[in-house]
Structure 1
Amino acid sequence: MKIKTKQLTQMAVLAAMSILLVSLIRFPIFPAAPFLEYDPADIPLLIGTFMFGPLGGLILTAVVSVLQGVTVSSSSGIIGILMHLFATGSFVIVAGNVYKRNKTRKGAITGLALGTVTMTATMALWNIAITPFFLGIPIEAVLPMIIPIIIPFNLLKAGINSAITFVVYKSVSKVLGLEIQETKVAESK
Structure 2
Amino acid sequence: MTNRKFFNIKTMAKVSILAAIAFILMEFDFPIPFIAPPFYKLDFSEVAVLIGGFAMGPLAGVAIEAMKVFLSCLFFGSGTAYVGELANFVMGCAFILPAAWFYRRHKNLKSALIGMIFGTLSLMLVGGLTNYFVMLPAYSFFFHMPLEAIISMGAEVVPFVNNAFTLVLFCTTPFNLIKGIVTSLMVFLLYKHISPILHR
> Normalising TM by the smaller chain, what interval?
0.7 to 0.9
Following superposition, the deviation at residue 69 of structure 1 comes to 2.8
Q: Pick the aligned partner of 2:185 from 143, 163, 169.
A: 163
Deviations 1:57-92 (A, max 9, x none): 111111111212332575742111111111111111
* Structure-1-length-normalised TM-score: 0.86
- Alignment correspondent of 1:145: 167
Following superposition, the deviation at residue 30 of structure 1 comes to 3.9
Following superposition, the deviation at residue 132 of structure 1 comes to 2.9
Q: Pick the aligned partner of 2:50 from 46, 53, 58.
A: 46
Deviations 1:122-153 (A, max 9, x none): 00011110123222144874222122210000
In structure 2, C-alpha distance between the alignment counterparts of 1:51 and 1:29, rounded to whole Å:
30
Aligned pairs for 1:94-113 within 5 A: 94-113=98-117
In structure 1, C-alpha distance between the alignment counterparts of 2:9 and 2:134, rounded to whole Å:
38
Give the match's secondary structure for 1:35. coil
4+ aligned runs moved over 3 Å, structure 1: 72-76, 137-141
Identity between Structure 1 and Structure 2 (%): 27
Unaligned runs of 5+ in 1: 180-189
In structure 2, C-alpha distance between the alignment counterparts of 1:63 and 1:164, rounded to whole Å:
21
Unaligned runs of 5+ in 2: 141-145, 149-161
Aligned pairs for 1:40-119 within 5 A: 40-71=44-75, 76-119=80-123
What is the Cα-based RMSD across aligned positions, in Å? 2.0
AA in 1 matched with 2:68: V
Question: Is contact 1:69-1:80 (8 Å) kept?
Answer: no
In structure 2, C-alpha distance between the alignment counterparts of 1:125 and 1:51, rounded to whole Å:
29
AA in 1 matched with 2:94: S
- Alignment correspondent of 2:156: none
AA in 1 matched with 2:31: P
Question: Is contact 2:102-2:111 (8 Å) kept?
Answer: yes
In structure 2, C-alpha distance between the alignment counterparts of 1:34 and 1:75, rounded to whole Å:
20
Question: Is contact 1:73-1:80 (8 Å) kept?
Answer: no
1:26 aligns with 2:29: yes
Per the alignment, do residues 172 and 33 of structure 1 end up closer, same or farther by CA in structure 2, a change over 3 Å counting? Answer: same
* Structure-2-length-normalised TM-score: 0.81
Number of equivalenced pairs? 177
Following superposition, the deviation at residue 114 of structure 1 comes to 0.6
